[in-house]
Amino acid sequence: MAHEEDDGRTGGARRRPLRERHVEETVEVAVPVRTAYNQWTQFKTFPRFSAVVRDVEQVRPTVTAWTIGYGPVRHRFSVEIVEQDPDAYLAWRGLEQRPTHEGEVEFRPTESGGTAITVRMFLRPHGAVKVLTRFPRVTELAARLVRGELVGFKDFIEGLGQEGGAWRGTIRNGRVQHDTPEPPRSRVAQWPVG
């Protein structure tokens, strides 16, 4: 999962190579980067603005289970956050036996004081869906869907004007990075005091 490094101050791209079948969409929102990023990390709120996300469950700090669908059709899958830099970048991958996608979202300040949010997704279809993705219209449909979800997020966060929560942790290679190292755990049982 190599990607270009950027400290957020130079304005350089922070892209992972996503190869041929990828979708890339950008939307500008009229809130500061910190507000947009903080709200984005509140995955459980996605059903409030999404046309396809029905439920999100936090399984572990780096793993979420998503239920998506239209009408009565539902699909549930798990996603692992593999990289996360507060106010800048988040990358994920599907955890299904045959991963169907991986992606990233990038947050950049705009000259107007808002935020440009770019989502890139690499689709890895299997079976009959793999044949369908050879047609440009299928990729265009996926791009329109991502664009619609971004516009939904834009309307949601601009309507709120502030984030409804935040998770500000850093993740590297699927592991949460702690600011200070955890003390070693004692092998001696902890006895109640008092």
For residue range 136-145, what is the model confidence (pLDDT) as tens digits?
566 777 788 8
Strands 170-172 and 73-85: antiparallel
Mean pLDDT of 40-66: 93
Minimum mean pLDDT range among 19-33, 63-77, 107-121: 19-33
Structure token digits, residue 14? 């922070």
Query: Alpha carbon 50 to chain centroid distance?
Result: 14
pLDDT for the residue numbered 157: 93
Cα–Cα distance between 114 and 95 in angstroms, integer? 33
Cα–Cα distance between 33 and 106 in angstroms, integer? 10
CA angle 60, 169, 113 (to 5 degrees): 130
